[in-house]
Structure 1
Amino acid sequence: MPHTILVVDDNDQNRLLLRDVLQISGFDVLLAENGEETVRLAREHHPDLILMDIQMPVMNGLEAGKLLRCDPRTKDICILALSCAVMIEDKDDFFATGFDGYIDKPIDIRMLPKTIMKYLANDERK
């Protein structure tokens, strides 16, 4: 059974590119364009991993991450932040919120499936 990845980005092109790359690599993919949608889809579908942009309208990635970590239905899902120009303070915020890691933008799409598999293999919450 393939792993399910929830891709969250308010930029349509980014979201669709990530979907295509992940589907070609054999993952099932769900899509969301803001944090509010992410929380709803995560509760409904319980994906194996969430790739989440941080700066989004409606609800940003950090707010969504906090809600996901506080909810017994979603607290065990692996969450990776997608962010541009990650500074040390940003990384601290990601980990303090409960993110499992981060991927810098622009994303190396050749390495993305391997990176995701690494996190899924090391996910100790499950």
Structure 2
Amino acid sequence: MARILLIEDNAANTSLTCFVLESAGHTVNSATTAEIGISLVHDHRPDLILMDIHLPGMDGLHATSLLKADASTREIPVVALTALTMSGDEARILAAGCDGYIAKPMRYLSLLAAVLTYIGRRVTAT
């Protein structure tokens, strides 16, 4: 299955998300900050990045814009994990370079469906 990087600072969200993804056969690495996550992207070349928006230090939108500006990482899909669901939030998330977003609290069947969608798009593009 896929190699997924989860960048999330909430331990409970990380544990549950990793459990769901690993139970579906995916390999998951995780990071608690955007800075660590960016380093892991370069080290492990994931097939998909799940990015929390509210992170300590650099936020997920800034991290996404850095990844999308880098020729070596721009093709990796980034899906925002966010509680931001107000009018205009989706446009701001997509404008930062995210390929999509999943609202928190997550529905795990929706998470798995989104993962398959974005991994499928990447496989089709290559």
Once the two structures are superposed, residues 43-85 of structure 1 have per-residue CA deviations (whole angstroms, 9 ceiling, x without a partner) of: 1111000111101102110110011011112111000001114
CA distance in 1, matches of 2:28, 2:19: 9
SS in 2 for 1:73: coil
CA distance in 1, matches of 2:97, 2:109: 26
CA distance in 1, matches of 2:46, 2:71: 14
Pairwise CA distance, 1:88: 3.0
User: Structure 1 runs of 4+ off > 4 angstroms?
Assistant: none
2:51 paired with 1:52: yes
Instruction: After superposing the two structures, state which structure 1 stretch, 75-84 or 90-99, moved more.
Output: 90-99
1:119 — aligned with what?
118
Pairwise CA RMSD? 1.3
Instruction: After superposing the two structures, state which structure 1 stretch, 48-57 or 88-97, moved more.
Output: 88-97
Pairwise CA distance, 1:96: 0.9
1:86 — aligned with what?
85
2:9 — aligned with what?
10
> TM-score, normalised on structure 1?
0.93
Q: How does 1:34-73 map to 2 (within 5 A)?
A: 34-73=33-72
CA distance in 1, matches of 2:114, 2:73: 21
C-alpha contact 1:76 1:125 (8 A) present in aligned 2: no
- Give % identity: 37
Runs of at least 5 residues in structure 2 that lack an aligned partner in the other structure: none
2:21 — aligned with what?
22
CA distance in 2, matches of 1:125, 1:86: 29
1:76 — aligned with what?
75
